[in-house]
Amino acid sequence: MSMLWTRTPTPRSTIGSPPVAPSSPEAGRQPAPPATPTGRLGPAAADGEGGDRGGTDHSGTDHSGTDRGGTDHSGTDHSGTDRGGAGTTVAAAALVGLLLLPFLPLVLASLSQGYFHPQLLPETWSLRAWRLVLAPGAGTWVALRDSLVVAAGVTLVSLVVAVPAGRVLGTRSFRGRRAVEVVLLLPVLVPGIAVAIGLHVTFLRLGLAGTLPGVVLVHLVPATPYVVLLSAGVFANADLGLEDQARTLGANRRQVAWSVTRPLVAPGLAVAALFGFLVSWGQYATTLVVGGGRVVTLPILLFASAAGGDTAVTAATALVHALPAVALLVATARILGRDVPTLGGAR
Amino acid sequence: MSALLSDQVRRWSRDDTVRTWARLAPALVLVGVLFGGAVWSASSRSLGVGAIGSPGPSLDAYRRLLGDPEFWPSVALTTHVAVTSTLLSVALGVGAALLLRRVHFGRRSLTTLFQFNLPIPHVIGAVAILLLLGQSGFISRLTAGLGWTAAPADFPALLYDPYAVGVIVQYVWKEVPFVGIVALAILRAAGDDLETAAATLGASAWQRFRFVTLPVLLPGVLSTAIIVFAFSFGTFEVPLLLGASYPAVLPVLAHQRYTDVDLANRPEAMALAVVVTLIVIVVVLVGAALARRAVRRAGA
Amino acid sequence: MAGGPDPRDWPAVLAAADGTTVDLHMWGGSTEINAFVDEVYGPALAELGVELNRVPVADTADAVNVVLGELEAGRTDPGSGVIDLIWLNGENFATMRQADALLASGWAEHLPNAAFVDWDDPAVAFDAGRPVAFTTSPWGSAQFQFVADTARTAPQELPRSYAELAEWIRANPGRFTYPAPPAFHGTRFLTQWFHELDGDPDAWVEAFDEDRYTEVAEELFALLEELAPALWRGGATYPNEIADLDRLFANGEVDLTFTQLPAGIGANIDAGVLPATARPFVFDTGTIGDHHYLAIPVNATDPAAAMVFADLVLDPVRQAIKLDPANGWGDGIAVSPDRLDTEQREAIDAVTAGLGDQAVPPAELEAVRTSNPGAELTVRLEADWDRRIRQGRTG
């Protein structure tokens, strides 16, 4: 059994493939914090070993998405993982189909009018809901703008604090590292409603309640830890030895940072930033309480719409809310996909 | 090493430590102030400190909370939702990973599509499930079309029901890809040399899973399970949309008490916030300790 | 600027409002109403240099809480609040009045278009049993009606009183429910039932009789408890909002829903929210009709802009537009026909004449109209409903 552990499964090019983007919380939260939830696979994954996080994949990325000829370990057929035929494909397709099924009534409802039971396909197709939702004066645009502004603010601030912190967490071993990781993990796990309730009165007194900056601040609570811990993973996996080599060759610090470090970590940090963005994008409870109804982001608008009886409009609003998130995910995947060979490929 | 050199080393490590903590400081301060501030504020207000005209710290709010007839049913429901969602997500997620791992034709597209609903915010998922599983929802219309049900009332009540089925379905729907992707990544990184070896030695599929695959997955999946639990316990918007009127889950209860026009209920709302926070923290720490023990045992 | 701008000097108010934004917090649960406000009032305001920021709230009480929270946090000075205007009535009005959160300068009396409002009418001058005293300005009026689907239920089968409704529920188990109080329509539904059992709705407008309340409430809740198993989902859960009830109704899960629109449900049918065969009706024993208002918080930042908006909506032409369901709303008028000139009155009459059977005839509405009771009654009913019905606790 001990054989299993000596082989320290290094998550190579973890940031390589279509990243697992989280919406509200999890996907980013996952095994990345190796301290508390023990992500380590075993004693061989010792501290300080270039920050090997013992096999737990930071961004839970899936390599199969970008099978870059040969980087896939289990690509070749092993009897241990019987490569399935059409049967497994069908089963997997059914699984995926089930997961995507809920979007179907959403799309259908958005394109219909009077879509009551028992109509399976709408009797009356109509663009009314989309026209209402996308109308120039509709609340959708304001909500979209506010959601974007807040999420961008959250992403920016968390990146700024996450880069130095992540570098240190990912590459150095020091006393108290585990404690830091725990401290960073808690805000992600604690219910947002509790945090929002806790902060609200103070924000009221500070005049932050009902303002965009106030909402940005409260979103930072769940978002920053994600970005920090993911950045840690990025730095852990980056081949930072190249920095020393560059310096040996005479490059000064700025040149090193720009020409060596940046290409190494930028794609991964982009993923971390994406996570931060998505955490903020999907926040409801925190925006509801701290925004005080005055800051209307897309989740707030969507919820109000769901309570408002016009199912078609609600469905259309939901799709508007979902689109940027999915688009961002796809875009990042494409960016990262291109850079995979340069990313930790040396490992 | 000469004394001079060791001094030098010591200075380097001291500088290093300073630099380390300096680099960590912004993040820690940011999180500390905001999160710590929230916890501190909720805690002190729950003890009655800081409110206008309050006589001083007291456990009144907590006493009232524990005596609140909706509190204990709420705890039970919330725990049920969280535990069930976690167990189902983990089981199905790992199963999905094992399945996807074996897919040959179309693996890349299927795996990509598998992750599709990860960036989807929960509010959207809740609305989608609402339209899908309601008694007059899409599935109900399908069964009506097939002649299995006639009126909406013939379709089982999966939403607003006492077991929070709709809520659990929504959580599982979101978390299965999450758990699945993590499991896939772990399995990919681990490679299947050992499983091959085990198979060569005559181990059955079940034995291979139980003694080779599972231990590899366990640590990562356990930590993922903790996260899923914390999340299912603390989410607010999904039960608000898909849950029954009574009892409300703890996060919804906290919000109700907080937005009550009667401001005297504020301390109780704060107490609820504190209680919910504590429960999650305790579960996380206990779960992490258990996970560590399991890993150690498996690694022996 | 103690007491806010003085509308008697209207040009000054217009000047002060020019270039500002009015932050209107109103219930956002109806896409059609939202669109109406944006499209009908927005451009008109823009012409006056005022930008409309319509902030949808899920529950008016949320907006009230924001103001109360601000006041509690010490932000009481004019210009320190985030809300300029709240659409409210009833309990929410009472709450703000009690907390002295309303701009109480009597501004509503002196708006130019206030001339069209009959402030002598108790239906306007009193809200939830309290004198409005010009602290809020009327926007429109509403009356509670029931809605049935003629394709499913013949008119003669419909209940015409709460007593008949109880029978109807027993005869059609699982086919009826109501939004959980304190949702607006749920509370009103409950209050009307209370009134029918009590027999004297007017008595509750200004006074609250504790003994009488206990007696009637006991009867009411005992009845509700007895009927609960015959409700939708066996009474184990109730829809949160009127929109949820509308959805159940439209999809055939229940057979009745409610509306507040005096001009009928034409707008809802056009929007595809209610089936085309749906028709409103009232109980012979009475349904509550009242006005709804616009309130300016005492710490509003742009009270001048708020006053401009409040005045704008009282314009008789726009009131007629609001009345017509074809424009997306169908809300009742707040202006008194007696105070309008011939042309304005004709515009309103034309709308009323063209309503068809998607509305209850105005004469019938008026015949069964009862007053909105004092807030004490509704608040008690909500609390007791929550305890006895939602939580299932007896006593």
pLDDT (tens digit, 9 = 90+) per residue, A296-311?
A: 899 998 988 887 778 8
- In this structure, of A80-84, A213-217, B87-91, the range with the lowest mean pLDDT score is A80-84
In a domain, B63, yes or no: yes
What is residue C127's three-state secondary structure? strand
Q: Using CA atoms, how far apart are residues A167 and A171, in angstroms rounded to an integer?
A: 6
Residue in C closest to A125 by C-alpha: C272
Question: Nearest-CA distance from A146 to chain C in Å?
Answer: 13
- For chain A positions 233-262, those within 8 Å of chain B (CB to CB) are none
Residue in B closest to C175 by C-alpha: B153
pLDDT at A20 over 70: no
pLDDT at C47 over 60: yes
Nearest by CB to B152, from C180, C251, C393: name it.
C251
Nearest by CB to A293, from C62, C244, C250: name it.
C62
- Chains touching C (at least 3 CB pairs under 8 A) are A, B
Band the pLDDT of C319: cuts 50, 70, 90.
very high
pLDDT at A281 over 90: yes
Average pLDDT for residues C221-236, to the nearest whole number? 94
pLDDT at C373 over 80: yes
More confident residue, A13 or C301: C301
pLDDT of residue A343: 29
Considering only CA atoms, which of A336, A344, A345 is closest in space to residue A65? A336
Whole-number mean pLDDT of chain B? 87
Q: Give buried/exposed letters for A189-202 (b at 16+ CB in 10 A, else e).
A: bbbbbbbbbbbbbb
Average pLDDT for residues B142-159, to the nearest whole number? 90
Class at the top of the CATH hierarchy for domain A143-295: mainly alpha
- Domain containing B252 — which CATH number? 1.10.3720.10
CB-CB contact of B277 with B36 (8 Å): no
Nearest by CB to C58, from A207, A304, A313: name it.
A304
Average pLDDT for residues A11-30, to the nearest whole number? 36
Q: Using CA atoms, how far apart are residues B108 and A347, in angstroms rounded to an integer?
A: 23
pLDDT at A6 over 50: no
Band the pLDDT of A122: cuts 50, 70, 90.
very high
The boundaries of the domain holding residue B96 are: 59-299
Query: Pairing state of beta strands C369-370 and C136-143?
Result: unpaired
More confident residue, A80 or C265: C265
In a domain, B120, yes or no: yes
Average pLDDT for residues C355-362, to the nearest whole number? 91
Average pLDDT for residues C82-108, to the nearest whole number? 91
In a domain, B90, yes or no: yes
In a domain, B14, yes or no: no
Q: Give buried/exposed letters for A292-329 (b at 16+ CB in 10 A, else e).
A: bbbbbbbbbbbbbbbbbbbbbbbbbbbbbbbebbbebb
Whole-number mean pLDDT of chain A? 75
Is C251's Cβ below 8 Å from some Cβ in A?
yes
Say yes or no for a CB contact (<8 Å) between A78 and B223: no
Contacts with A113 from chain C: Cβ below 8 Å: 271-272
pLDDT at B260 over 80: no
Contacts with C32 from chain A: Cβ below 8 Å: 310
Q: Using CA atoms, how far apart are residues C273 and C375, in angstroms rounded to an integer?
A: 31
Average pLDDT for residues B228-232, to the nearest whole number? 94
Residue in B closest to C68 by C-alpha: B261
Is A206's Cβ below 8 Å from some Cβ in C?
no
pLDDT of residue B106: 84
Residues A31-72 have pLDDT tens digits of: 333 332 332 222 222 333 333 333 333 333 443 333 333 334
CB-CB contact of B93 with B171 (8 Å): no
Is A347's Cβ below 8 Å from some Cβ in B?
no
pLDDT of residue A3: 27
pLDDT of residue B261: 66
Is A156's Cβ below 8 Å from some Cβ in B?
no
Q: Where are the alpha helices (DSSP H) in A13-85?
A: 26-29
More confident residue, B219 or A9: B219
Nearest by CB to C247, from A209, A210, A309: name it.
A309
pLDDT of residue C304: 94
Band the pLDDT of C266: cuts 50, 70, 90.
very high
Average pLDDT for residues C243-256, to the nearest whole number? 92
Nearest by CB to A308, from C54, C73, C243: name it.
C243
Is C62's Cβ below 8 Å from some Cβ in A?
yes
What does the domain layout of chain A look like in residue ranges?
106-138+297-337, 143-295
Residue in B closest to A286 by C-alpha: B236
Is A197's Cβ below 8 Å from some Cβ in C?
no
Contacts with A299 from chain B: Cβ below 8 Å: 121, 123, 237
Say yes or no for a CB contact (<8 Å) between C65 and B152: no
pLDDT of residue A46: 31
Query: Pairing state of beta strands C136-143 and C287-295?
Result: antiparallel
Band the pLDDT of C217: cuts 50, 70, 90.
very high
Q: Which helix (H) or strand (E) holds C293?
A: strand C287-295
Total number of domains in chain B: 1
Say yes or no for a CB contact (<8 Å) between A292 and C240: no
Is C51's Cβ below 8 Å from some Cβ in A?
no
What is residue C24's three-state secondary structure? strand
pLDDT of residue C101: 92
Average pLDDT for residues A341-345, to the nearest whole number? 30
Say yes or no for a CB contact (<8 Å) between B245 and C252: no
Handedness of CA B43, B44, B50, B56 (dihedral sign): positive
Among B30, B46, B206, B296, most A C-beta atoms within 10 A, so best to mutate, is B30
In a domain, B12, yes or no: no
pLDDT at A13 over 90: no
Residues C99-118 have pLDDT tens digits of: 999 998 899 999 999 999 99
pTM for the complete prediction? 0.83
Say yes or no for a CB contact (<8 Å) between C35 and A112: no
Is C246's Cβ below 8 Å from some Cβ in A?
yes
Band the pLDDT of C276: cuts 50, 70, 90.
very high
Provide the percentage of residues in chain C whose pLDDT is more than 70: 99
pLDDT at C372 over 60: yes
Contacts with A305 from chain C: Cβ below 8 Å: 28, 31
How big is chain A, counted in residues?
347
pLDDT of residue B51: 60
Residue in C closest to A133 by C-alpha: C31
Average pLDDT for residues B269-292, to the nearest whole number? 89
In a domain, B70, yes or no: yes
Nearest by CB to B261, from C65, C236, C251: name it.
C65
Contacts with A66 from chain B: Cβ below 8 Å: 108
pLDDT of residue B214: 86
Question: What values do phi and psi take at C53, rounded to 5?
Answer: -115, 95
Provide the percentage of residues in chain A whose pLDDT is more than 70: 73
Q: What angle do CA C123, C126, C129 make, to 5 degrees?
A: 115
- In this structure, of A63-77, A172-186, C72-86, C208-222, the range with the lowest mean pLDDT score is A63-77
For residue A128, what are the contacts with CB-CB under 8 A and spacing of at least 6?
A: A113, A312, C271, C272
Contacts with A99 from chain B: Cβ below 8 Å: 113-114, 116-117, 173, 176-177
pLDDT at B52 over 70: no
CB-CB contact of B198 with B207 (8 Å): yes
Average pLDDT for residues A122-139, to the nearest whole number? 88
pLDDT of residue A83: 66
pLDDT of residue A44: 29
